[in-house]
Amino acid sequence: MRAFPPYRAQVVTEIPITTRADRERALARAGYNAFNLPANMVTIDLLTDSGTGAMSTAQEAAAAAADRSYAGSDSFFRFRQAVADLTSYPHVLPVHQGRAAERVLFTSVLQPGQISVSNTHFDTTRANVELLGCEARDLPCAGFLDLDSHEPFKGNIDIPLLERTLSGPDGDRVGMVLVTITNNGGGGQPVSMANLRAAVALCRKHKVPIFLDAARFAENAWLVTRREPGYENRTPREVAAEAFDLVDGCVASLKKDGISPMGAFIGVRDAELASRCETLLIATEGFRTYGGLAAHDLERVAKGLAEVLDPGYLHAREAEAIRLAQQANDAGVDSVQPPGLHALYLNAGRLLQHLPAGRFPGHALACEMYLRGGIRCVELGSLYLGELDENNELVTPAPFELVRIALPRRVYAQAHMDYVADVLAEIAKDPGAVPGYRILDAPKVLRHFNLRLEPA
């Protein structure tokens, strides 16, 4: 039997239908940067799975009845209970989104000059480490380098390298280890429980705190039940709880697996660390019972955290990603294997071989998907990660030229995804016709959000 989503649409919203000429004008006006496109010019928006999920009627009903009290609102207690049902952290702070959680926790943990070690830091996560005068060091496992291999846990942290880092000359400077589940910067690949346990053991030995970036904790847990021996009969909730239990705390953007438009939390065990975080939270985000979140979003998160662990939902989501990956592959567009849940990562470097890295094949494919089909997605390649010279020409390319097709939760139907596959198939018929791009203007920090380009 095929998996199907355990929900139906009850409220829908129209999506913009545009012409090719509309899209050409819009993309040129946007400086060929999809982050500058107005959403009303986008037909299928696969830019991100963050804050873009569809609400359930239970979430909206709870949101309507939210308690907006400044201190000690009922909504906070429901939020805290939902987190307590999942984690054993005695100290839980709501925050408006993941990057705020990062800033508050990292400021309370790291000293300037220290190193944060991760399987892969997400871009805002890296920025929050670097803004503190620290180094963000990624140690993804070697398996990720083979995009086509079907190894089940290519999101793992490289354990031998972590061991060498912790016991080597830089060991004393490691201020924390952060394991991102699933590994968004690393192809949306999961981390195994065995890998997490090994990382925790090393951190205990070297007395370094270890945290999760748990933005996609439920999707990681689902993939563990599917792929890791010994976990076949465990529920996603049990696996997620075990992961949270293993470590010293977490930051979790709830715009992903909280299925909420906004929200995040910090969870920690150490009372003294919690108190430092709380002071900073109150000074810069909001009081400890709302942390910068509106009460209605505390309610949405509380329900979302339970709904996201429904095995039927996770199974249907996995099936959606596998189906799209297969369709793209059949059309001649490869993606990072095996597919994760929140996104497909298309191998643009392989498809657009006529374009050198310096003409940004990933970006070229993303632009072409928009021009042909009004589909918005984002490059993860040399435009995002490569090193540029002062004339904005590429000097060091990224290891891969990928395009991330993010899959918003509960939003698009199978027919929308078939349409995406059709657009990819059209492009794959004549990839040589896709033009490359040249950078006109690139800011130094978080440049992909503000780049301006032109076809080259």
Burial tier of 426 (Cβ tally within 10 Å: 0-12, 13-18, 19+): middle
- Confirm or reject binding of residue 95 to ligand F0G (CB under 6 A): no
Q: Kindly indicate which of the ranges 121-129, 292-300, 333-341, 412-420 contains the residues binding ligand F0G, using the contact rule CB under 6 A.
A: 121-129
Residue 261 vs 436, nearer CB to ligand F0G: 261
Which residue among 158, 213, 320, 368 contacts ligand F0G (CB under 6 A)?
213
Residue 355 vs 380, nearer CB to ligand F0G: 380
Backbone angles phi, psi at 93, to 5 degrees: -120, 130
Which residue among 99, 137, 288, 359 contacts ligand F0G (CB under 6 A)?
99
Q: Kindly indicate which of the ranges 61-69, 92-100, 193-201, 283-291 contains the residues binding ligand F0G, using the contact rule CB under 6 A.
A: 92-100
Is 268 in contact with 251 (CB distance < 8 Å)? no
CA 392 to mean position of chain CA atoms: 27
Q: How far is the CB of 406 from ligand F0G (least distance, A)?
A: 6
Collect all residues with Cβ–Cβ distance below 8 Å to 326 and sequence separation of at least 6: none
Q: How far is the CB of 100 from ligand F0G (least distance, A)?
A: 7
Distance between CA atoms of residues 166 and 149, nearest Å: 29
Q: Quick check: is 306 catalytic? A: no
Q: Quick check: is 70 catalytic? A: yes
Task: Indicate which residue of 96, 121, 154, 256 is catalytic.
Answer: 256
Q: Kindly indicate which of the ranges 97-105, 168-176, 296-304, 329-337 contains the residues binding ligand F0G, using the contact rule CB under 6 A.
A: 97-105
Collect all residues with Cβ–Cβ distance below 8 Å to 301 and sequence separation of at least 6: 79, 82, 94, 254, 258, 260, 263, 293
Residue 212 vs 365, nearer CB to ligand F0G: 212
Is 231 in contact with 268 (CB distance < 8 Å)? no
Which residue among 36, 43, 56, 124 contacts ligand F0G (CB under 6 A)?
124
Q: Kindly indicate which of the ranges 91-99, 106-114, 319-327, 329-337 contains the residues binding ligand F0G, using the contact rule CB under 6 A.
A: 91-99
Q: Quick check: is 122 catalytic? A: yes
Q: How far is the CB of 99 from ligand F0G (least distance, A)?
A: 4
Task: Indicate which residue of 65, 70, 413, 441 is catalytic.
Answer: 70
- Confirm or reject binding of residue 217 to ligand F0G (CB under 6 A): no
**Nearest residue by C-beta to ligand F0G?**
98
Q: How far is the CB of 393 from ligand F0G (least distance, A)?
A: 27
Is 115 in contact with 173 (CB distance < 8 Å)? yes
- Confirm or reject binding of residue 165 to ligand F0G (CB under 6 A): no
Q: Kindly indicate which of the ranges 56-64, 96-104, 357-365, 369-377 contains the residues binding ligand F0G, using the contact rule CB under 6 A.
A: 96-104
Is 49 in contact with 320 (CB distance < 8 Å)? no
Which residue among 63, 76, 86, 98 contacts ligand F0G (CB under 6 A)?
98
Q: Quick check: is 215 catalytic? A: yes
Is 144 in contact with 337 (CB distance < 8 Å)? no
What is the footprint of ligand F0G within residues 7-66 (CB under 6 A)?
48, 50
Which residue among 59, 125, 225, 337 contacts ligand F0G (CB under 6 A)?
125
- Confirm or reject binding of residue 300 to ligand F0G (CB under 6 A): no
First to last CA, the chain: 48
Lay out the site mask for ligand F0G across 247-276 (x = CB under 6 A, - = otherwise): ------x-x--------x------------
Which residue among 76, 122, 217, 360 contacts ligand F0G (CB under 6 A)?
122
- Confirm or reject binding of residue 296 to ligand F0G (CB under 6 A): no
Task: Indicate which residue of 45, 49, 158, 213 is catalytic.
Answer: 213
Q: How far is the CB of 214 from ligand F0G (least distance, A)?
A: 9
Q: Quick check: is 257 catalytic? A: no
- Chain residues that interact with ligand F0G, rule: CB under 6 A: 48, 50, 97-99, 122, 124-125, 180, 184, 213, 215, 253, 255, 264
Q: Which residues participate in catalysis according to the annotation?
A: 70, 122-123, 213, 215, 256, 448
